[in-house]
Amino acid sequence: MSKEKEVLKTGQSKIKKKSRSQETWRRFRKNKLALFGMILFAVILLVTILADVIVSYDVSVTQVASERLQSPSASHWFGTDNYGRDLFARIVHGSRNSLLVGFGSVIIGVTLGGMLGAVCGYLGGRFDAIVMRVLDSIMCIPTTMLALAIVAALGTSLGNVLMAMTISSVPRYCRIIRSSVLGVTGQTYIEAAHSCGTPDFQIILKHVLPNAIGPIIVQATMAVGSAIISAAGISFVGMGIQPPAPEWGAMLNEARTYMTMYPYMVLFPGLAIGFTALSMNLMGDGLRDALDPKLKD
């Protein structure tokens, strides 16, 4: 009899979990702008994955003096830059560096900030107060300025830009996740798990974080666009990924001198940054509405 009850409970939990995900997807797909953002991001991601198939990487870094500053044409869809390099190839392959910094900094930042925020929100007390005051002092420094300072100290490279973006974003994620965890820790199932002798670390991983995952997903999705724009800003001032490696912000930096006479050099990298950030923000808005139980259809 007890086995039948366990099987019944397991089946009910699976149905509940499945129905919750289906309900989230149903509400998400009703948002036309969110669907457009998802399709747009899928196209960008597909271009990033198939970059070597679409165009060779050598085309993006090979300088051809006789083809300098050519306007968009059948042979060069987005034109060429001041070194004669194909802009279409540079934008396609530059998407890998830009998305790597954007997604990498958000994933690592959310992981570190999430664990720290969950621990602070769950334990509270003096530990929470000390950590929050330290993070408050870090948050007083603008994110981009802090990232620039870190890159200036460590040197200009893809890894250092990724590290700088991660460090500068951890305090913000920590505060967001801590606020979500504070609303969960007072629930009865947390008290029940604690009274059963479950270790604190296990409670945080199995009970606290999964029930606070909604705001985390929304913030992470929307933060990717901001991270890509910030990374492009760092490269724009010459502190990011160095040439000849293609990166959208660095391409904008190289095009500053020629933007009045050859506006296409600024237009296409700017559109790549704008469309990527737009797709992530639209998806984030859709996820926020789909995961919010207070919003009715």
Tens digit of each residue's pLDDT (9 = 90 or more) over 18-27: 566 677 777 7
pLDDT of residue 43: 92
Whether residue 11 has pLDDT greater than 70 = no
pLDDT in tens, 44-101: 999 999 988 888 888 777 877 778 888 888 888 888 888 888 888 889 988 888 888 8
CA atoms within 13 A on the CB side of 46: 6
Higher pLDDT, 272 or 200: 272
pLDDT in tens, 126-150: 888 888 888 888 888 877 788 888 8
Residue recorded with tokens 């797909």: 29
Dist CA 195 CA 197 (whole Å): 5
pLDDT of residue 42: 92
C-alpha distances in angstroms, 279 versus 42, 44, 276? Answer: 9, 9, 5
Nearest CA to 171 among 155, 147, 200, 203?
147
Of 14-23, 102-111, 161-170, 227-236, where does mean pLDDT reach its minimum?
Answer: 14-23
pLDDT in tens, 148-207: 888 888 777 777 888 888 888 888 888 888 877 777 776 777 777 777 777 767 777 776
The residue-averaged pLDDT of 24-50 equals: 86
pLDDT of residue 211: 67
Whether residue 287 has pLDDT greater than 70 = yes
Q: pTM to 2 decimals?
A: 0.74
297 — pLDDT class (breaks 50, 70, 90): low
pLDDT of residue 137: 83
Widest distance between CA atoms in the chain: 83
What's the mean per-residue pLDDT of the chain? 78
Of 39-43, 145-149, 262-266, 270-274, where does mean pLDDT reach its minimum?
Answer: 145-149
Q: Which two tokens stand for residue 265?
A: 């050099």
Higher pLDDT, 15 or 55: 55
Higher pLDDT, 187 or 7: 187
Spatial neighbors of 96 by CB under 8 A, at least 6 apart, are 48, 51
* 261 SS3 class: coil
| Separation of first and last alpha carbons in the chain | 41
Domains and CATH numbers, the chain: 22-62+74-291 (1.10.3720.10)
295 — pLDDT class (breaks 50, 70, 90): low
Residue 17 one-letter amino acid: K
DSSP 92-159: HHHHHHHHHHHHHHHHHHHHHHHHHHHHHHHH-HHHHHHHHHHHHHHHTS-HHHHHHHHHHHH-SSHH
Contact status, residue 254 vs residue 81, Cβ threshold 8 Å:
yes
